[in-house]
Amino acid sequence: MKRNILLLIILSFIFSIQILSQEKIDYQMMQRIRQEGLQNSKVMELMSYLCDIYGPRLAASPQYRQAGQWAVSKLKEYGLENANMETWGTLGRGWELKKFYAAMTSPQYMPFIAYPKAWTPGLEGVVKGNATLMDIKSEADLDAFKGKLKGAIVLSRGEQLITLGMEADGKRYSDEDLKKLQLAQEGGGRNFDPAQMATLRAQRELQQKVAKFLKDEGALIILEPSRGTDGTIFVQSGGSYRKGSEMPLPSVVVSVEQYNRMVRIAQKNVPVSLEFEIQANFVDTDSLGYNIVAEIPGTDKKLKDEVVMLGGHFDSWHSGTGGTDNSSGSAIAMEAVRILKALNVKPRRTIRIALWDAEEEGLIGSRNYIKNHFFDAEKKEKKPDYDKFAAYFNYDNGSGKIRGIYAQSNFAVMPIFEEWLKPFNDLGATTVTLRNTGSTDHVSFDAAGLPGFQFIQDQLEYDTRTHHSNMDVYDHTSRADLIQSATIMAAFVYNAAMRDEKLPRKYFDPNAVQQRRPQF
């Protein structure tokens, strides 16, 4: 009997310890955040401004600057303080497309679905000429074109194989997918095929040699086929944003179906007549880069100098309007702070939103923000605010709903995040994985030993249709998913700002850090 009583006392003690150690959640506030976020959302209004009025937002472009000024004014309107476009350092020259027209005029008329590559120059007036077909498999193949490309409009590759699409572009995580995501990755991380990597490297080197050859030979325009199909083209940069860098040839990416048609005509020795008008400006008036930042000040005497951050990158590529990459992340971060201000929250820690510059060029805005505020990787130097940093939450994988969060190998945050997700399990957000994910701005924080996290998002059409394409527009974003995501973002930020302790950190050795450009 005494033994049973003693066992009961021990079990009761253990249970009490477990209850006390559980993460404290203000469920009444979670209910209020849900109500404001789900029933009074303004996220699609923000999306329309970011996409329709202020998109695209290529880094360093006048459009980026205009959009930044609008975002600052909007955050001030919401009641945030210290809203400004904060320079992080020198970026380089901007670029903007003022006018573009391209078509095949013979043997039949065909207007192109096409875009010039960013940071490539325009043309003087309307240019007309016949296409020259090149299908270079090796550097030796270039010899046949020496002395023959002066003023040429070059089809730079042969016919591209197109496979008919038999699966839907859009995809959501299944329960099985999410369970797999919770398991450790095979080999402890990404598995790269060395042979495949070598092939890609060789292809890239050959393309660079071809581009140099064409410029040296006096070619006029380079035409490339898009990797997309069905009128979707994926197009990024063909030159450099750095001042003083060599000027490339005008480069245009054409829809693969139209490109293939031209190749097949040229192979029959029928002239392919083309005409182009490209007005593209390089902008050197302001070489600085800017992040957009604003704050909800903390109120706790002991904790108000500590900072919880949220954000996504503000820049986008130029062929679409940045709907999924990353107006979504910017709008969600702005909507999250709007929700918190609408509820008149008084956070213990300061909440700071940051919309990042030049993510597409290598996380440049967030990396330099870390360097300026928290940790200089080159000097191995922690700044005074390093120990005051609590957490950063990022959104940047399309417009898909939040299904959970990557813990970035931080064991200690996993039970915390699991508790934070419980009020949103019914909205599909259930999964915490120990895995790392990369290629977006939370990496800048994680690399400095700071708690930075990216949410797990449903993929939707991100990789198949919208990422860096002309289909990256408002109409390819999901309203319901964005509303859900902004609500959860607001809750995570609130919880991080209110808990007694900062989020736990992983082990970090500043002397082991190597400054390097992130790989995409």
Tokens of 255: 């829809």
Tokens of 480: 């319901």
- In angstroms, the CA 465 to CA 417 distance is 31
Looking at 5-19, 28-42, 91-105, 505-519, which range is the least confident one?
A: 5-19
Which pLDDT belongs to residue 270?
98
Residue 314 contacts residue 325 (beta carbons within 8 Å): no
**Tens of pLDDT along 421-430?**
999 999 999 9
Average pLDDT over residues 2-31: 61
Which pLDDT belongs to residue 3?
54
Instruction: Please report the domains of the chain, with CATH numbers, ordered by start residue.
Output: 25-92+285-512 (3.40.630.10), 94-172+208-283 (3.50.30.30)
Which pLDDT belongs to residue 193?
74
Q: What average pLDDT is seen over the chain?
A: 93
Count of beta carbons in the 10 Å neighbourhood of residue 88: 22
- In angstroms, the CA 238 to CA 282 distance is 13
Residue 248 contacts residue 120 (beta carbons within 8 Å): yes
Which pLDDT belongs to residue 203?
86
Tokens of 275: 């005409």
Element (H, E) at 21: helix 2-21
Alpha carbon 440 to chain centroid, angstroms: 6
**Tens of pLDDT along 76-101?**
999 999 999 999 999 999 999 999 99
User: Is residue 506 predicted with pLDDT exceeding 80?
Assistant: yes
Residue 183 contacts residue 253 (beta carbons within 8 Å): no
**Tens of pLDDT along 19-63?**
335 799 999 999 999 999 999 999 999 999 999 999 999 999 999
- In angstroms, the CA 87 to CA 106 distance is 50
**Tens of pLDDT along 283-331?**
999 999 999 999 999 999 999 999 999 999 999 999 999 999 999 999 9
Per-residue b/e over 293-303, b at no fewer than 16 CB within 10 Å? bbbbebeeeeb
One-letter amino acid for residue 388 of the chain: K
Residue 505, judged by CB atoms within 10 A of its CB (0-12, 13-18, 19+), counts as: middle
At residue 17 the predicted structure's pLDDT band, cuts being 50, 70 and 90, is very low
User: Is residue 65 predicted with pLDDT exceeding 50?
Assistant: yes
Dihedral angle over CA of 422, 423, 428, 432, nearest 10? -30
Which pLDDT belongs to residue 477?
98
Which pLDDT belongs to residue 358?
98
Which pLDDT belongs to residue 53?
98
Question: What order do you get walking across the sheet with 402-406 strand by strand?
Answer: 81-90, 288-296, 350-356, 307-313, 389-394, 452-457, 402-406, 431-433
With H, G, I as helix, E, B as strand and everything else as coil, classify residue 80.
coil
DSSP-derived secondary structure letter, 462: I
Question: What order do you get walking across the sheet with 127-133 strand by strand?
Answer: 110-111, 94-106, 273-283, 127-133, 153-155, 221-225, 251-254, 114-116
DSSP of 59-77: TTSHHHHHHHHHHHHHHHH
Alpha carbon 399 to chain centroid, angstroms: 11
DSSP-derived secondary structure letter, 324: I
With H, G, I as helix, E, B as strand and everything else as coil, classify residue 186.
helix
Which pLDDT belongs to residue 171?
95
Looking at 201-205, 211-215, 355-359, 398-402, which range is the least confident one?
A: 201-205
User: Is residue 8 predicted with pLDDT exceeding 70?
Assistant: no
Peptide bond before residue 260 is cis, with ω within 30 degrees of 0: no
At residue 192 the predicted structure's pLDDT band, cuts being 50, 70 and 90, is low
With H, G, I as helix, E, B as strand and everything else as coil, classify residue 447.
coil
Task: Write down the pTM of the prediction.
Answer: 0.93
User: Is residue 7 predicted with pLDDT exceeding 90?
Assistant: no
One-letter amino acid for residue 482 of the chain: L
290: left (phi over 0), alpha (psi -120 to 50) or beta: beta
Which pLDDT belongs to residue 512?
84
Partners of residue 308 on adjacent β-strands: 351, 391
**What's the first-to-final CA gap in the chain, in angstroms?**
66
Which pLDDT belongs to residue 195?
83
Count of beta carbons in the 10 Å neighbourhood of residue 196: 9
- H helices of 145-290, in order, are 175-181, 194-216, 256-267
Partners of residue 104 on adjacent β-strands: 110, 274
C-alpha to C-alpha distances, 216 to 62, 212, 253, nearest whole angstrom:
32, 6, 21
228: left (phi over 0), alpha (psi -120 to 50) or beta: beta
The residues, ordered by sequence, that sit 6+ positions from 46 with a Cβ below 8 Å of its Cβ are: 74, 330, 331, 334, 335
Measuring CA to CA, which residue among 459, 457, 461 is closest to residue 169?
A: 461
Which pLDDT belongs to residue 444?
98
Which pLDDT belongs to residue 196?
85
C-alpha to C-alpha distances, 494 to 321, 341, 413, nearest whole angstrom:
30, 11, 16
Which pLDDT belongs to residue 514?
61
Tokens of 78: 């919401």
At residue 220 the predicted structure's pLDDT band, cuts being 50, 70 and 90, is very high
Residue 369 contacts residue 88 (beta carbons within 8 Å): yes
- In angstroms, the CA 308 to CA 393 distance is 8
pLDDT exceeding 90 applies to what percent of the chain?
87
Average pLDDT over residues 431-460: 97
Average pLDDT over residues 394-409: 98
